[in-house]
């Protein structure tokens, strides 16, 4: 099994540890991982801010980079970028068709739509594993990010993976399904509401007594984590992939 | 576009500015949090009782879509049916025309007072204000609308217009204001719900018994028989619909359904979605006028069919799904933005997620508030998940953002016009273009990443200027010593080290 790591521009630039964790985890599970160096950005921020036409070249570039037969699957450690490809690329194709521009865009994007998996989907559905041999002796609470929860319908997958981690104590997060308030450009366009949502999320995480708030999307964790350090809370944000990559031999520091 | 409802009213500030005040109002935050979470949890339980909820939702969506596709036909059928049953039908293109029609109809009765059933359409057109300007007093009879009217306030929720008020505030409003409108509040009124409801009942009963003209909206209009339906909880609607001699109903054209059978779906989904009830206490249905032999019902019935931007909305193939809305307000009760910003921040009688997609379509995106509404969402999708007619609100929000920043073709009063991109997005547009340039060139992206990494010691923890919107409440993430792509290139995925993690030398 050979997969392309669609790391996302945010992870590539700001969270390389998450990328290294995905590589380590998948390699340990016997998957051959490649990082196509020409990858940049899926176009989500453009699309969701109203710049659909400027997101189109990025989507075409994405498809050129990832849509080759060389890969059995495209795997991403981001619920929202995964949802961009799976849910919104087809919609972009439909809109182009409705605007009288033909099937070209839809056809060009089709190969990546079918092959893109969010990390937990890939582990549970494609590889068929829930116990990935991880060890993480911490008290952890899980925040299901909105696109993972509602667009991709990840459901219990992340929790099943976490429950199988040795040493990990999983505690449930009050108001887990409520948005953390990131929302891409929403975080700056409506910063007051966004910050209020973030503060509530952090307060809930703190109330669990967990050391770690885990999620499968670093964009949300950037907002939650930035709020945590500002509020000087004891809880730390950690991406799910880093927990799953951690083992007794090589624990996550 | 018709801004008739808002003539003479101050322009609403853009959403972020209104929300800035609201998030700091701790009383409002507490009231909203308590109320929305209570209804939200009850709704979830009421919906979970039905094992065919997904099918009902799909059926509701299809009925609405089918009706909207042939709206002209069903409206003409409705008109025929209403006229056959003794009613009169009036067509109003916009708020001003609707207000004029209703004013003239009331005047023709010689009355100067009307009692009102809670109605979103009449709020949308500002009917009460228009009637008042002509010397006609309109009395709201829904408990929450009464609170809003007495408090000289604006509604902040579709179903619970006074959701922003707590019991103590309501008691104060009753004590101070009821006397000026009719029967005063009883002496020693406390803030217990039973006493407050009793005070309202006594106050309103006088109005019901005196009024000769009733004004309503409708939840549904059945084309095949000309029957109108009002769904309510308090019984005030039943009083207004049956006691007065003349009934005037102002209804948005999208409220028509073809047949009685279609009601079967909505009378299940609406109460569970809005009040979390299996069935609402009062469902009133009337068809035209009652003759002299019938005890109940109006002697004269007028239906005012309101367009006010609906036909224009229908012309937009992405945005038109907003017209499926049955005004249940489930989307408000699950919305994290609504919960913190409150209903008034939306600058419209339609607050919350549905308001954020309805107002900029019905009114256009010309004003500051309407251009800001499509951004009043983190796109979390909770609204879509609960919507009983499956309106993909995030999809329409993004569509309207596109209209704001890129302009394009829209329909206004039946005419196709091309909108220019909105002002105030120049910096954002430039940033998006710059990002697009970089993302089209992996080499440029790498250059930027490296530059960020090399200078990371000098990065501030907070940002000046527009960046303050981020760093006022959140620390910036620390930029790593090298981007992932450099590590990958150096180690081919850590293969050389046999490990996915290793210290970066800083090269």
* pLDDT for the residue numbered B499: 44
- The answer, yes or no, to whether residue B351 has pLDDT greater than 90, is yes
Of A23, A91, A179, the CB nearest to B500: A23
* pLDDT for the residue numbered A243: 98
B36 against B295, higher pLDDT: B36
pLDDT band at B500 (very low <50, low <70, confident <90, very high): very low
Q: Which CATH class is domain B45-142+211-308?
A: alpha beta
Query: Could you give the 3-state DSSP secondary structure of residue B231?
Result: strand
Q: For residue range A209-239, list pLDDT tens digits in order.
A: 999 999 999 999 999 999 999 999 999 999 9
- Determine contact, residues A39/A62, Cβ cutoff 8 Å: yes
Residue count (chain B): 507
- The token duo for A152 is 């991709």
pLDDT band at A253 (very low <50, low <70, confident <90, very high): low
For an interface test with B, the pick among A7, A8, A95, A194 (most B C-beta atoms closer than 10 Å) comes out as A194
What percent of chain B has a predicted confidence (pLDDT) above 70? Answer: 94
For chain A positions 141-170, those within 8 Å of chain B (CB to CB) are 146-147, 150-151
Q: Which residues contact B359 (CB under 8 A, 6 or more apart)?
A: B346, B347, B348, B350, B369, B370, B373
Q: For residue range B100-118, list pLDDT tens digits in order.
A: 999 999 999 999 999 999 9
Distance CA A76, CA A113 (A): 13
- The answer, yes or no, to whether residue B281 has pLDDT greater than 90, is yes
* pLDDT for the residue numbered B89: 98
Closest CA to B218 of B204, B207, B231: B231
- Determine contact, residues B226/B84, Cβ cutoff 8 Å: yes
* pLDDT for the residue numbered B297: 67
Question: With an 8 Å Cβ cutoff, are A197 and B378 in contact?
Answer: yes
Query: Could you give the 3-state DSSP secondary structure of residue B199?
Result: helix
What is the rounded (10 degree) CA torsion for B425, B428, B432, B438? 150
Closest CA to A55 of A14, A9, A88: A88
- Determine contact, residues B238/B118, Cβ cutoff 8 Å: no
Closest CA to A155 of A165, A164, A144: A144
What percent of chain A has a predicted confidence (pLDDT) above 90? Answer: 99
For an interface test with B, the pick among A4, A10, A13 (most B C-beta atoms closer than 10 Å) comes out as A13
> Mean pLDDT, to the nearest integer, of B227-251?
95
**Mean pLDDT, rounded, of chain B:** 92
- The answer, yes or no, to whether residue B394 has pLDDT greater than 70, is yes
Distance CA B453, CA B448 (A): 9
- Determine contact, residues A106/A89, Cβ cutoff 8 Å: no
Question: Nearest residue on chain B to A16, judged by CA atoms?
Answer: B484
> Mean pLDDT, to the nearest integer, of A243-249?
97
Question: With an 8 Å Cβ cutoff, are A150 and B385 in contact?
Answer: yes
**Could you tell me where the DSSP H helices lie in B348-500?**
352-362, 368-372, 382-386, 393-406, 426-439, 442-454, 468-471, 484-491
* pLDDT for the residue numbered B294: 54
Question: Nearest residue on chain B to A184, judged by CA atoms?
Answer: B378
* pLDDT for the residue numbered A198: 98
Distance CA B402, CA A46 (A): 10
- Determine contact, residues B128/B114, Cβ cutoff 8 Å: no
Q: Which residues contact B464 (CB under 8 A, 6 or more apart)?
A: none
Q: For residue range B291-321, list pLDDT tens digits in order.
A: 655 545 689 999 999 999 999 999 999 999 9
Query: Could you give the 3-state DSSP secondary structure of residue A123?
Result: helix
HEC profile of A56-113: HHHHHHHHHHHCCCCCCEEEECCHHHHHHHHHHHHHHHHHHHHCCCCCHHHHHHHHHH
> Mean pLDDT, to the nearest integer, of B356-363?
97
> Mean pLDDT, to the nearest integer, of B265-286?
96
Of B340, B436, B480, the CB nearest to A196: B340
Question: Nearest residue on chain B to A182, judged by CA atoms?
Answer: B378
Q: For residue range B322-341, list pLDDT tens digits in order.
A: 999 999 999 999 999 999 99
pTM summary value: 0.94
Name the burial class of residue B143, with classes exposed (0-12), middle (13-18) and buried (19+) by CB atoms within 10 angstroms of its CB. Answer: buried
The DSSP secondary-structure symbol of B478 reads P
Chain A residues close to B403, C-beta within 8 Å: 50
Distance CA B50, CA B52 (A): 5
Q: For residue range A7-43, list pLDDT tens digits in order.
A: 999 999 999 999 999 999 999 999 999 999 999 999 9
* pLDDT for the residue numbered B502: 40
For an interface test with B, the pick among A10, A26, A50 (most B C-beta atoms closer than 10 Å) comes out as A50
CA B478 to chain centre: 40
Q: How far is CA A134 from CA A78, A117, A171, in A?
A: 20, 21, 18
> Mean pLDDT, to the nearest integer, of B173-186?
96
Q: How do strand B88-92 and strand B256-257 relate by DSSP bridges? A: unpaired
pLDDT band at B486 (very low <50, low <70, confident <90, very high): very high
Residue appearing with tokens 């604006």: B154
- The token duo for A20 is 């290294």
pLDDT band at B425 (very low <50, low <70, confident <90, very high): confident
* pLDDT for the residue numbered B461: 75
- Determine contact, residues A76/A117, Cβ cutoff 8 Å: yes
Q: What is the CA radius of gyration of chain A?
A: 18
* pLDDT for the residue numbered B492: 83
Q: Which residues contact A39 (CB under 8 A, 6 or more apart)?
A: A6, A7, A12, A62, A65, A66, B442
| Paired strand residues for B227 | B222, B287
To which H or E segment does residue A212 belong? strand A212-215
Closest CA to B503 of B482, B473, B485: B482
Annotated domain spans of chain B: 45-142+211-308, 311-419, 426-491
> A111-120, A173-182, B196-205, B442-451: which has the minimum mean pLDDT?
B442-451
- The token duo for B158 is 């579709």
**Could you tell me where the DSSP H helices lie in B393-441?**
393-406, 426-439
* pLDDT for the residue numbered B496: 45
One DSSP character per residue, A150-171 reads IIS--TTHHHHHHHTSBT-EEE
- Determine contact, residues A134/A247, Cβ cutoff 8 Å: yes
| Paired strand residues for B116 | B140, B215
Distance from CA of B313 to the nearest CA of A (A): 17
Chain A residues close to B340, C-beta within 8 Å: 193, 196-197
Query: Residue-wise over A87-113: b if at least 16 C-beta within 10 A, else e?
Result: ebbbbbbebbeeeeeeeebbebbbbbb
Q: How many CA atoms lie within 13 Å of B151's alpha carbon, on the beta-carbon side?
A: 22
- Determine contact, residues B353/B332, Cβ cutoff 8 Å: yes
To which H or E segment does residue B467 belong? none
Q: Is A58 left (phi over 0), alpha (psi -120 to 50) or beta?
A: alpha
**What value, to the nearest 5°, has the Cα angle with vertex A86 and ends A82 and A87?**
110
Question: Nearest residue on chain A to B375, judged by CA atoms?
Answer: A186
Distance CA B294, CA B301 (A): 15
- The token duo for B437 is 């340039």
Number of other CB atoms surrounding residue A65 within 10 Å? 18
Query: Could you give the 3-state DSSP secondary structure of residue B162?
Result: coil
**B244 backbone dihedrals φ, ψ, rounded to 5°:** -65, 155
| Paired strand residues for B139 | B115
Chain A residues close to B375, C-beta within 8 Å: 185-186, 189-190
Chain A residues close to B427, C-beta within 8 Å: none
Distance from CA of A84 to the nearest CA of B (A): 12
Distance CA B376, CA B20 (A): 12
CA B138 to chain centre: 23
Question: Nearest residue on chain A to B338, judged by CA atoms?
Answer: A193
Distance CA B452, CA A10 (A): 13
pLDDT band at B459 (very low <50, low <70, confident <90, very high): confident
Q: For the packed helices A191-207 and A218-231, what is the interaxial angle rounded to 10 degrees? A: 80
* pLDDT for the residue numbered B10: 58
Q: Which CATH class is domain B311-419?
A: mainly alpha
* pLDDT for the residue numbered B293: 56
| Paired strand residues for B303 | B89, B249
Distance from CA of A240 to the nearest CA of B (A): 15
* pLDDT for the residue numbered B501: 41
Q: Map out the domains of chain A with their CATH numbers.
A: 2-126 (3.40.50), 139-245 (3.40.50)
């Amino acid at each position: 099994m050979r997969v392309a790591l669609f790391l996302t521009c945010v992870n590539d630039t700001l969270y390389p540890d998450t990328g290294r964790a995905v590589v380590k985890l998948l390699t340990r599970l016997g998957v051959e991982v490649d990082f196509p160096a020409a990858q940049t950005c899926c176009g989500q921020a453009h699309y969701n801010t109203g710049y659909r036409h400027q997101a189109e070249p990025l989507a075409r570039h994405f498809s050129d980079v990832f849509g080759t037969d060389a890969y059995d699957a495209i795997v991403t450690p981001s619920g929202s970028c995964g949802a961009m490809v799976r849910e919104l690329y087809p919609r972009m194709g439909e809109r182009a068709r409705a605007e009288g521009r033909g099937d070209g865009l839809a056809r060009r994007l089709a190969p990546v739509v079918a092959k893109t998996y969010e990390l937990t989907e890939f582990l549970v559905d494609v590889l068929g594993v829930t116990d990935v041999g991880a060890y993480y002796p911490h008290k952890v609470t899980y925040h299901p990010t909105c696109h993972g929860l509602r667009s991709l319908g990840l459901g219990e997958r992340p929790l099943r993976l976490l429950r199988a981690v040795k040493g990990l104590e999983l505690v449930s997060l009050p108001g887990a399904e409520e948005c953390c308030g990131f929302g891409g450009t929403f975080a700056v366009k409506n910063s007051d509401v966004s910050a209020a949502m973030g503060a509530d999320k952090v307060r809930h995480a703190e109330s669990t007594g967990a050391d770690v708030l885990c999620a499968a999307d670093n964009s949300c964790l950037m907002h939650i984590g930035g709020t945590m350090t500002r509020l000087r809370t004891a809880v730390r944000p950690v991406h799910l992939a880093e927990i799953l990559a951690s083992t007794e031999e090589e624990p996550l520091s | 576009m018709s801004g008739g409802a808002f003539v003479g009213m101050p322009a609403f500030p853009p959403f972020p500015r209104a929300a800035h005040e609201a998030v700091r109002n701790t009383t409002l935050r507490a009231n909203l949090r308590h109320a929305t979470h209570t209804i939200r949890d009850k709704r979830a339980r009421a919906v979970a009782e039905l094992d065919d909820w997904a099918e009902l939702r799909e059926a509701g969506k299809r009925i609405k879509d089918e009706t909207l596709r042939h709206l002209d036909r069903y409206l003409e059928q409705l008109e025929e049916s209403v006229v056959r049953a003794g009613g009169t039908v009036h067509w109003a293109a916009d708020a001003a025309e609707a207000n004029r029609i209703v004013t003239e109809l009331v005047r023709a009765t010689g009355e100067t007072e009307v009692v009102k059933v809670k109605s979103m359409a009449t709020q949308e057109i500002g009917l009460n204000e228009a009637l008042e300007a002509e010397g006609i007093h309109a009395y709201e009879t829904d408990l929450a609308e009464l609170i809003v009217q007495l408090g000289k306030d604006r509604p902040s929720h579709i179903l619970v217009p006074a959701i922003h008020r707590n019991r103590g505030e309501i008691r104060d409003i009753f004590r101070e204001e009821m006397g000026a409108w009719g029967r005063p509040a009883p002496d020693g009124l406390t803030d217990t719900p039973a006493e407050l409801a009793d005070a309202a009942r006594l106050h309103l009963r006088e109005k019901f018994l005196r009024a000769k003209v009733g004004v309503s909206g409708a939840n549904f209009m059945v084309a095949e028989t000309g029957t109108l339906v009002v769904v309510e909880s308090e019984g005030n609607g039943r009083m207004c619909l049956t006691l007065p001699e003349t009934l005037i109903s102002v209804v948005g054209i999208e409220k028509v359904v073809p047949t009685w059978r279609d009601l079967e779906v909505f009378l299940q989904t609406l109460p569970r979605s809005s009040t979390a009830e299996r069935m609402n206490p009062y469902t009133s249905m009337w068809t035209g006028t009652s003759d002299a032999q019938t005890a109940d019902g109006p002697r004269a019935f007028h239906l005012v069919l309101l367009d006010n931007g609906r036909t224009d909305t229908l012309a937009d193939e992405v945005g038109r799904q907003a017209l499926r809305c049955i005004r249940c307000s489930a989307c408000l009760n699950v919305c994290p933005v609504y919960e913190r910003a409150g209903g008034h921040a939306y600058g419209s009688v339609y607050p919350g997620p549905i308001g954020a997609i309805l107002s900029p379509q019905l009114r256009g995106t010309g004003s500051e508030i309407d251009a800001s509404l499509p951004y009043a969402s983190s796109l979390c999708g909770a609204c879509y998940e609960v919507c009983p007619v499956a309106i993909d609100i995030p999809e329409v929000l993004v569509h309207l953002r596109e209209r704001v920043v890129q302009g394009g073709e829209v329909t206004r009063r039946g005419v196709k016009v091309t909108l220019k991109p909105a002002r105030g997005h120049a910096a954002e547009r430039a940033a998006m273009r710059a990002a697009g340039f970089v993302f089209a060139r992996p080499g440029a992206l790498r250059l930027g990443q490296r530059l960020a990494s090399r200078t990371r010691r000098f990065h501030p923890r907070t940002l000046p200027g527009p960046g303050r919107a981020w760093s006022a409440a959140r620390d910036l993430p620390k930029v790593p010593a090298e981007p992932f792509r450099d590590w990958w290139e150096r180690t081919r995925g850590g293969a050389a080290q046999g490990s996915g993690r290793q210290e970066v030398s800083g090269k």
